[in-house]
Amino acid sequence: MRDLKKISVLGAALMALISSAAGQAQHSLPPNMSAVVPALVNFNGVLTDPNGKPLTEITGVTFCLYQNQQGGAPLWMETQNVQPGENGRYAVMLGSTTDAGLPSSLFSTGAARWLGVQVQGHAEQPRVLLASVPYAMKAADAQTVGGLSPSAFLLAPSASGEAAAAGASHPSAVSRSVGGGGTADYIPIWTDSSGDLGDSVMFQSGSGSTARIGINTATPATTLDVQGGAIVRGALTLPTTGAATASRGFDSQPLDLVASVYNTSTSSAVSEEFRWQAEPVNGVNLQSGKLNLLFGANGATPAETGVSIAGNGQITFAAGQGFPGTGPGTITGVTAGTDLTGGGESGTVTLYLDTTKVPQLAGNNTYTGSQTVSGSVTATSFSGGGVGITGVNASQLGGLAPSAYAQLAAGNTFTGKQTINNSTVMTGNNASGVLQVTNIATSGKGPAIVGTTNSDGANAIKGIVTATTGTDAGVYGVTSSSAGDGVHGVLSAPSVEGATLTVGAAVRGDTNVDTGLYGSGAAGVLGTADAGVGGAFVNTNSTGVTAALIAANLTDTSGLIFEAYGGPDVNSCVIDTNGSLECTGSKSAVVAVDSGARKVALYAVEAPENWFEDVGSGQLSNGSAYIALDPTFAQTVNTGLEYHVFLTPNGDCEGLYVGSRTARGFEVHELRGGHSNVAFDYRIMARRSGYENIRLADVTERYQKMESQRRAIRKQVAQQRAQSRAKPLPIPASLR
């Protein structure tokens, strides 16, 4: 309403100017009326990036005039290179890029005009309604009457019949004054028909982009703050925050619902903010959207909860969402399984035992297979004076069944402890084994076979295969337990890890000697060879692990999991407990060339810091583009630190540069305010997350220790070779 008052006063002044001009008939209007009102409009605002951070570097900005607040093609547009201040504020003259300035025809009808501002690479900002100042360009027409000077006309005769002179004044040329009163910053209203103004319920604080309107409040907290209810007789629209491009989509404006709860720990109120927001699906090549629920507590930015509604109405619930049952459920059918009969699909169903398969305790049963009873058997009635067992009466064996005695010519099962104090030789041709020993204890860790010797150089258990063909083993160990071992060898005493680790193994080697090969010569498992392979691991399961090396002491991060040495020089590769691979040689990939006739090595690029890289392509749109980082790649690097982007245009342009960089992506612009649509490639280098502060790590001490260990190994091997040459190893008598 304050603007209406200004317009009224301006109209009165304009009428007075026309009357004065009419009295000066001897002066004609200038031939170029457009020179009276400059065809330029002053405009100011604030430039920010998508995160709200003020822009301070020179930036290309496009200004467009529209007929409506939303939609429609622009009536006029121009692009200027704007240099904002430290806080992002700027001021420009619209129309200054051409000699003609703004076309006066834009305001000839007096209709409203809306100004849209778009920073290159960003969505257009909400349009702003132009104030009355630009419409002063139409004021040049007010200085003519039908294209003629006011001096070309005479005033109408007065009521007394006297002819008015050309320069006479007329009461109708003065507008009525505006009266009333009001309070600063309140938007006024007409309080009566006499032209008096007064305060309305609307209050405005600030101006321009910082203006806030309050209804029934003089302290608006945001752009529009309404104290009271509201009825919207039509669609309530929360528009998008920008127009989607080929490289990114935009969310809707959010709908926030805030609750206040009391935190007894801090004795203060805490806000609980729920947000509904429409979001694009997949972000690129958009085909649909979804409505998401976000949540944030105590002033935190609301984050995704996982609850969303798709465009077809399907609801996605948050991870871990459970749904309680509503009753005992419904059975659609019962089918009798093995050893059962009956069943059905409706009504009351009954299951029965199949007595032809399940024996009856109170009935007569006939067993056609072998039966084994681990406990005692009591018979209260005998047929023929005894219990018949394979044709032999139990009374003929001292009351014991024949199975209680070992049969020399038959296979036997021993269920008790057996001790053999002298050499025993057993021969047979049973393919499953001549001697089978089973420990049937259900508790404890007793072995099935214990071999003990008091003679130096002797073996407690020795397996020899004299066959020259086949794949038989001298000692063959099998376990069906996931915590047991087929063959378990211990040097000196079990280690702490070996005594507590319950993982089963076909072959296990264990020792508590901690000096290993570098000191006493002890090893849990040792494989040696003068030719061939000292140790081989083969796994035909594509999902299994062929060899696993584990450093169980997780508190010692300086240890090594794997070491490999080659040649007399200091050539090695190690893997430490952090999972890092270090080699004194090169790391390369071998690739076949010349249709497989040759293979060449391609070497890895090394750097003093841990970098991860990603590459991709993009295309400018009117001189700018936004590249979103791959979400998975962004989780592997620290984008909070500076990362590097290298650009390569794929066509003729003014050149490219990287604009704003955030944790989510970066902007690409053409130099010198260019507007081309050239395609380009990019390469990103960012520091690996968790390794940001490592640069040229000093590993001298580690490799000095490894060299000392290698010297000890070489010395030990040389001594053992000298001993073996001086005293040949004995040949077992069984193999002579």
Burial of 660 (0-12, 13-18, 19+ CB in 10 A): buried
Q: How far apart are CA 439 and CA 461, in angstroms?
A: 18
CATH 2.60.40 domain span(s) along the chain? 2-155+166-179, 611-687
Under CATH, which architecture does the 2-155+166-179 domain have?
Sandwich (2.60)
Query: How does pLDDT run across 52-89, given as a tens digit for each residue?
Result: 889 888 889 999 999 898 888 888 889 999 999 988 89
Query: How does pLDDT run across 43-53, given as a tens digit for each residue?
Result: 888 888 888 88
The string of DSSP codes covering 179-201 is EE---TTEEEEE-STTSEEEEEE
* pLDDT (average), residues 223-235: 88
Burial of 437 (0-12, 13-18, 19+ CB in 10 A): exposed
Q: How far apart are CA 500 and CA 511, in angstroms?
A: 13
Q: How far apart are CA 512 and CA 520, in angstroms?
A: 12
Query: How does pLDDT run across 110-119, given as a tens digit for each residue?
Result: 788 899 999 8
Under CATH, which architecture does the 611-687 domain have?
Sandwich (2.60)
Residue 374 has phi, psi (to 5 degrees) of -75, -30
Q: How far apart are CA 659 and CA 19, in angstroms?
A: 57
Lowest mean pLDDT among 32-46, 74-88, 350-364, 387-401: 387-401
Q: How far apart are CA 73 and CA 658, in angstroms?
A: 30
* Higher local confidence (pLDDT), 561 or 127: 127
Judge whether residue 677 has pLDDT over 90.
yes
Judge whether residue 162 has pLDDT over 60.
no
Three-state DSSP at 274 gives strand
- Give residues with Cβ within 8 angstroms of 490, minimum separation 6: 498, 509, 510, 511
Q: How confident is the model at residue 176 (pLDDT cuts 50, 70, 90)?
A: low
Per cent of the chain over pLDDT 90 is 19
Cα 617 versus chain centre, distance: 21
Does the model's pTM come out above 0.75?
no
What is the C-alpha R_g of the chain? 48
